[in-house]
Amino acid sequence: MNTSTLVTVADVTKSFGANAVLKGVSFDVPTGSVTAIIGPSGSGKTTMLRSLNALERPDSGVITIGDVRVDFSTDIPEAEFYRFRAQSGMVFQGHNLFPHKTVVQNIIEGPVVVQRRPAGEARAEAVELLRSVGLDGKQDQYPYQLSGGQQQRVGIARALALKPKLMLFDEPTSALDPELVGEVLAVIKDLATQGWTMVIVTHEIRFAQQVADQVLFTDEGVVLESGPPDEVIGAPAQERTQQFLRRILDPL
């Protein structure tokens, strides 16, 4: 793992009306590392993740990704805002594929329409990406012809096609049948071995323990505990973290 820092999050806040969802969140993401965000529902995990792509725009705080720094307390020029968003690719809970487009059309939409890359080049890269996520030969099928796990893998390939510096995963297995979860987690593990920088919101605690370089435990809008998985999951210091993990790992 590289020792440089790709992402810096500094004192980020976000409220929805009177509900403060993020209360001064700060953390770093080293280049080539995997950061897993865990915590109870409503703790701010997804809002934190979506702030890294400005799908949720923070009220204040500074986020830096690579050489792009955005202070959300100020007016952000539109060009800089889109440059910030272009640093990352997002994989959602639901695959969010266009049902009327083929698999390859879904994947090349961003590179061709947004990045203005040649369609032939984008298609060739999309076919290779499909091979890398175990979907060789599926490029001309439609989403309805694929299983949920396959559709989610197309969603991963679509995000990778934008060649982002940072990959973001918002509970990528939560909408899948249990028997399909493993195939998606295997792809994410493979990306980790390839050196992709990733931030993953997940309820798959054992997966986080296996693949993450650092784990953030969030509760009530703050990062309550952070560190290597062997510490945060294996030997948490905070009573709230211990309580959460007991409920998740030993529900009976």
Residues 107-133 have a mean pLDDT of 95
Q: What proportion of the chain, given as a percentage, has pLDDT over 70? A: 98
Q: What is the mean pLDDT of residues 175-204?
A: 91
Q: Degrees (nearest 5) of the Cα angle 2, 194, 30?
A: 25
Nearest to 122 by CA among 134, 131, 132, 110: 110
DSSP code, position 172: T
* Cα(244)–Cα(250) distance, integer angstroms: 10
- pLDDT at residue number 215: 97
Q: Is the dihedral of CA 171, 176, 182, 186 positive or negative?
A: negative
Rounded to whole angstroms, the Cα distance separating 120 from 123 reads 5
Tokens standing for residue 121 = 């080049």
pLDDT of residue 131: 94
Structure tokens given for 176? 């899948």
In the numeric block, the tokens 């998985």 are attached to: 229
User: In the 8-state DSSP scheme, what is residue 116?
Assistant: -
pLDDT tens-place string over residues 222-232: 999 999 999 99
Section 189-207 average pLDDT: 94
138 close to 88: Cβ distance less than 8 angstroms? no
Q: Read off the pLDDT of residues 148-184 as tens digits, 9 standing for 90 and up.
A: 999 999 999 999 999 999 999 999 888 888 888 889 9
Q: Which residue has the higher pLDDT, 248 or 237?
A: 237
- The whole-angstrom separation of Cα 248 and Cα 122 is 42
Percent of the chain with pLDDT over 90: 86
Place of tokens 């096609």: 161
DSSP 113: I
Band (pLDDT 50/70/90 cuts) for residue 252 is low
Q: What is the pLDDT of residues 19-47, one digit of tens each?
A: 999 999 999 999 999 999 999 999 999 99
pLDDT at 3: 65
**How far is 245 from 161, CA to CA, in rounded Å?**
35
* Beta partners for residue 142, in sequence order: none
Distance CA 49, CA 235 (A): 25
